[in-house]
Amino acid sequence: MKLYDALCSTSLERVRGIAAFYGIPPTKPGVPEGKPGADLCGRIAAHLLVPANALVAMNGLNQEEMLALRLITIAAGGQGVVVEQCHQKLNQLSRKWRRNGAKVIEALISRGLVFTRREGYRHIYYVASDLREVLADFFLKDLYKSAAVDNMRFSPRRRCDFAMPLRHICLFLSYLRKSEVRLTQSGNIFKKAQTDIQSLIEEEAAPLDETLFPVRYPPRLALLLYFAKSKGMVEERSGTLCLNQKALSWIETPYESWRRDLYEYWRQTYIQQDTDLQTLLWVIMRSPEDSILSLEALLNEMNTLSTSHSSHGLNLRVERNLVDILEYLGGLEVASSINGLFLRPTATGRALFGSAPYPEEPFDRYVYVQPNFEVFVPSTIAPRTLWTIDGFAELLKQDQMMVFKLTRNSVYRGLLLSHTPETISKFLEENSKTPIPQNVAYSIAHWGTSYGRIEFEEAILLKCDTEELADELLLSPKIRPHLKGKVGPCCLVVNRAAYDQLISALADEGYMPKLNGNPRLSHEIAGQTG
């Protein structure tokens, strides 16, 4: 809520008191009768939103009142602080445990710096959004001065791999597309499949008791799996984890949407319910461009900004649920040293946070097909290209240059996924940096010649008591269209889709077929013949 709207939602008596504090006349010549309150709110807002006036408004505040204003401005990313939590924090900082924190906040409310709103059964202290921008610059300037690291040789602990999360979600969904993933009775993925998926998403095995969230999977697998479930891209069906058709349409969306969807899921699941993590995310992403922040210094600042009942486990929550995952999503660069962790937001991170335009991501376009049937694929390949290749080639090695191999079985799997030898060859020709080796093209075409020579069809067997009766039915013009042919002397194959029509035709022609387990048809035929 902006300052003008917050003032308008306040009592007129309070608004007049705020105006008197700043020496703003209660009325102004030319204001239409009946609207003095709205006009006064507008003049107060215009006055306070001037940075110099906002600084003047803070003159005279004591240390406790300044701490309270800083807390309400910054905590939870500026979303406000629950009244009881705010009072408790102020008492903790001042060590005046019996003091009523409302008296501290009243000085801020009387100056129009802080307001109160109701959310459900709770009351929230908050700073109006446009005023918060003015005050945040003042408070964060000192915070960044204490947390920033100068003249440091920043060396990220992980190589720059902007495509990593998109590559991993692509390979994870592709694995479900190709393989049956069975679940235990408790709903867990069996260990063998877990190990296979962890290899695809380059996650090292870690004891589950080291993870913070009460999930049954390692952190990266848990993030991707529950994200896919939240988007309806995977579902549990008859004891297996299956790919949903929604995944195919999601794959076709822009890559920026992929990353934003992952980021929003992480923010809502890991950050939204933790006000301290909201605060740190807000502080980090608003830091000056190219600044490097000490995580230890930021955590020290949280001593006056944390609104949790207890700070126990904050360091671990910050590292696991904020730093590690945001680094994985491409939003942070992290350097590790004996002095702790140092953070630098990336252009992608600022874009996801909403404070900068989204940068162009230079995905690789081409692959390299070798005469030995191996296909070299850069790890930064466009994800949809990777999705297609993984459908008809087998991944042998994960590295900066991934190695896939074309085999008879992998091509057969691609044919089952609606590819054809022609579409596979055409795709490789269009996306290979070098011409397709002749032996590779020939083998793909040759392997495809065997596909479809054997085909399964669903049918029903109609059994006659004599060979003559079977021939008689085949010659009937009303019955023959519902039959596929003859199997043996006395058996006919029935088109499953035409079963009901065949029963009716037999009844119309005077035959009385025996119906096993279909009382509805028996009743209908009896009604017709009756």
Contacts of residue 520, defined as CB under 8 A and 6 or more positions apart, other chains included, come to none
pLDDT at 421 exceeding the cut of 80: yes
**Contact, 364 vs 378, CB < 8 A?**
yes
Lowest pLDDT segment from 24-38, 403-417, 514-528: 514-528
Burial letters 340-364, b for 16+ CB under 10 A, else e: ebbbbbbbbbbbbbeebeeeeeebe
Helix/strand/coil for 409: helix
Count the residues in the chain: 530
Instruction: Compute the half-sphere exposure of residue 291: CA atoms within 13 Å on the CB side of its CA.
Output: 18
pLDDT at position 103 is 79
Structure tokens at 178: 């190709």
More confident residue, 499 or 530: 499
pLDDT at 373 exceeding the cut of 70: yes
Task: Give the whole-number percent of the chain exceeding pLDDT 90.
Answer: 33
Where do the domains of the chain lie, and which CATH numbers do they carry? 3-147 (1.10.10.10), 164-252 (1.10.10), 274-353 (1.10.10), 368-448 (no CATH), 459-529 (no CATH)
pLDDT at position 24 is 85
Banded model confidence at residue 212, pLDDT cuts 50, 70, 90: very low
pLDDT at position 158 is 82
| 363-386: average pLDDT | 94
pLDDT at 32 exceeding the cut of 60: no
Structure tokens at 188: 């867990």
pLDDT at position 152 is 67
Task: Give the whole-number percent of the chain exceeding pLDDT 70.
Answer: 90
The DSSP-derived string for 80-148 is -EEHHHHHHHHHHHHT-TTS-HHHHHHHHHTTTS-EEEEETTEEEEE--HHHHHHHHHHHHHHHHHHHB
pLDDT at 188 exceeding the cut of 80: yes
| 361-371: average pLDDT | 93
Highest mean pLDDT among 109-113, 253-257, 458-462, 465-469: 253-257
More confident residue, 58 or 31: 58
pLDDT at 151 exceeding the cut of 70: no
The whole-chain average pLDDT of the chain stands at 85
**Contact, 282 vs 140, CB < 8 A?**
no
pLDDT at position 530 is 45
pLDDT at 96 exceeding the cut of 70: no
pLDDT at position 121 is 83
Angle (nearest 5°) at CA 296 between 293 and 300: 105
pLDDT at 27 exceeding the cut of 90: no
pLDDT at position 331 is 93
pLDDT at 452 exceeding the cut of 70: no
pLDDT at position 436 is 92
**Contact, 64 vs 104, CB < 8 A?**
yes
| 69-78: average pLDDT | 86
pLDDT in tens, 254-270: 999 999 999 999 999 99
Contacts of residue 160, defined as CB under 8 A and 6 or more positions apart, other chains included, come to 333
pLDDT at 33 exceeding the cut of 60: no
Please write down the long-range contacts of 418-421, taking CB distance under 8 Å and 24 or more positions apart.
Answer: 419/391, 419/392, 420/448, 421/445, 421/447, 421/448, 421/451
pLDDT at position 261 is 96
